Amino acid sequence: MLIKKFQRYFLNLPKLKSMTAKEKCKQGLLYNASHDEELINERKTCKSLCQQFNQTQYSESEERVQLIKKILNKTKNNFLIEQSFWCDYGYNIEIGENFYSNHNLVILDCAEVKFGDNVFIGPNCSFYTANHPINIKQRNAGLEYAQPITIGNNVWLGGNVTVLPGVTIGDNTVIGAGSVVTKDIPNNVIAVGNPCKILKEIIE
């Protein structure tokens, strides 16, 4: 098994060398975000728009909506994102209908982050797709990899919740305040804690 794994790696080595950092990122491979000009420029563009959004007068609601539509890949008709809001690229983020996030939302969207309809997010919540190697040399060299996050429909996340790379949260689920979600959470449950664990099932 291990021999076959190494054989596949060396067979793919020429292809890996020809891939851009962005292409490697999309495939969940190790890539260098710190020294790649394409990714650096995309982050600069996105964060400049986030800064503009955060500094817009609160009364200028239509201007704030238009800025969010410029930042994010996909939105629906009804949403409200309170200031401040920060993300890395924006083009990896999709939000559903009737989306609401309270102040200080942070989304590190190196990979896709998708929110369903009727998602409510408390203040100071964070969604991290970026991950770093355990290997010291790789980490110090600036290498990282990314895993997507998916949030279902009718999900409520309390304040100060952190969702880590690769996590899926199912429909109709509530995540208690202060939770750190390290693994998938199914539909129709209340989950809380660090690490976040199922507290009870939601029964209508």
Q: Is 134 exposed, middle or buried (0-12, 13-18, 19+ CB in 10 A)?
A: exposed
Residue type (1 letter), 106:
V
The catalytic residues are 132
d(CA 188, CA 31): 36
Tokens 């804690």 sit on residue: 193
Tokens 């990714």 sit on residue: 39
Query: Helix and strand tally (H, E) in the chain?
Result: 5, 19
Q: What is the CA radius of gyration of the chain?
A: 18
